[in-house]
């Protein structure tokens, strides 16, 4: 089970639902703690939430989103049971891993910026450019790196744009495809040639005797 997620602003968070499940307490109890100590939680930022519809005729449920400081504070209000102690350890690890992912993403995003400019310039002088070439190529590279186009990425992950919705690993792959697209455009190749290379079957590694 995922304990920590990243929102569209690249801010790590967990939810009241996750806390309840992993700490083995009722979700109503977690929600009440957050409401009763709202000012304490808001000292560490706005308390985000989402309204989730339940199957059947049940009332929609409010799921709180908590940043790392808010989640840590919430745990201090819980009884120190064995499930709570185990969850505390796992949550600290999950937030650490997400911060590491965020640092890697920021590094790759900085490395990608010059390539984006180079791709833009290559497309501007591309004789065989398709219609809406910039968005078409961008969507192609996004799909090659993540399996989703810009619209799908933003809808599923909530980023400001397609690239910012990628993971750091996907962004590394995106840059590799970006380099390839730039080279092929500069060689005068067409969009279908680039598309074929983006989606070419991956070769399986063979081990020598």
Tell which residue, 108, 138, 139, 157, has the closest CA to residue 10.
157
Q: d(Cα 93, Cα 14) in Å, to the nearest integer?
A: 13
The pLDDT value recorded for residue 204 is: 52
Instruction: Count the residues in the chain.
Output: 209
- How far apart CA 169 and CA 128 sit, in angstroms, is 31
Tell me whether residue 142 is exposed, middle or buried, using C-beta atoms within 10 angstroms of its C-beta: 0 to 12, 13 to 18, 19 or more.
buried
Alpha carbon of 198 to those of 112, 175, 202: distances in Å? 18, 12, 10
Given this model, what pLDDT does residue 97 score? 96
pLDDT, position 208: 46
What pLDDT is attached to residue 209? 38
What would the DSSP string read from start to end of 127-159? TT--TTHHHHHHHHHHHHHHS--HHHHHHHH--
**What is the structure's pLDDT at 56?**
66
Domain boundaries, the chain: 5-79, 102-198
For 181-209, the pLDDT digits (tens) are 999 999 999 999 999 999 997 655 444 43
Phi and psi at residue 150, to the nearest 5° = -55, -50
The confidence score (pLDDT) of residue 138 equals 98
Per-residue pLDDT tens digits for 168-183: 999 999 999 999 999 9
Chain segment 14-71, per-residue pLDDT in tens: 999 999 999 999 999 999 999 999 999 999 999 999 998 876 666 788 999 999 999 9
> What digits encode the pLDDT tens for the residues 103-128?
999 999 999 999 999 999 999 999 99
pTM for the model: 0.79
What sign does the dihedral 167-1-19-54 (CA atoms) show? positive
First to last CA, the chain: 40
């Amino acid at each position: 089970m995922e304990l920590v997620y990243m929102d569209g602003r690249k801010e790590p968070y967990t939810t009241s639902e996750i806390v309840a499940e992993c700490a083995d307490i009722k979700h109503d109890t977690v929600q009440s703690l957050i409401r009763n100590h709202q000012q304490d939680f808001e000292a560490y930022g706005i308390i985000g939430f989402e309204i989730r519809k339940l199957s059947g005729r049940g009332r929609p449920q409010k799921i709180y989103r908590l940043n790392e400081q808010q989640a840590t504070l919430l745990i201090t209000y819980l009884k120190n049971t064995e499930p709570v102690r185990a969850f505390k350890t796992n949550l600290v690890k999950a937030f650490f891993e997400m911060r590491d992912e965020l640092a890697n993403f920021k590094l790759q995003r900085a490395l990608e910026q010059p390539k984006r400019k180079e791709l833009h310039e290559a497309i501007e002088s591309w004789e065989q450019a398709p219609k809406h070439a910039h968005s078409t190529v961008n969507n192609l590279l996004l799909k090659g790196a993540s399996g989703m186009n810009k619209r799908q990425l933003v809808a599923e992950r909530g980023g400001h744009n397609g690239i910012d919705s990628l993971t750091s690993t996907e962004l590394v792959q995106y840059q590799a495809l970006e380099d390839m697209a730039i080279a092929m455009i500069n060689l005068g190749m067409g969009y279908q040639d680039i598309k074929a290379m983006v989606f070419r079957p991956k070769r399986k590694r063979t081990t020598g005797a």
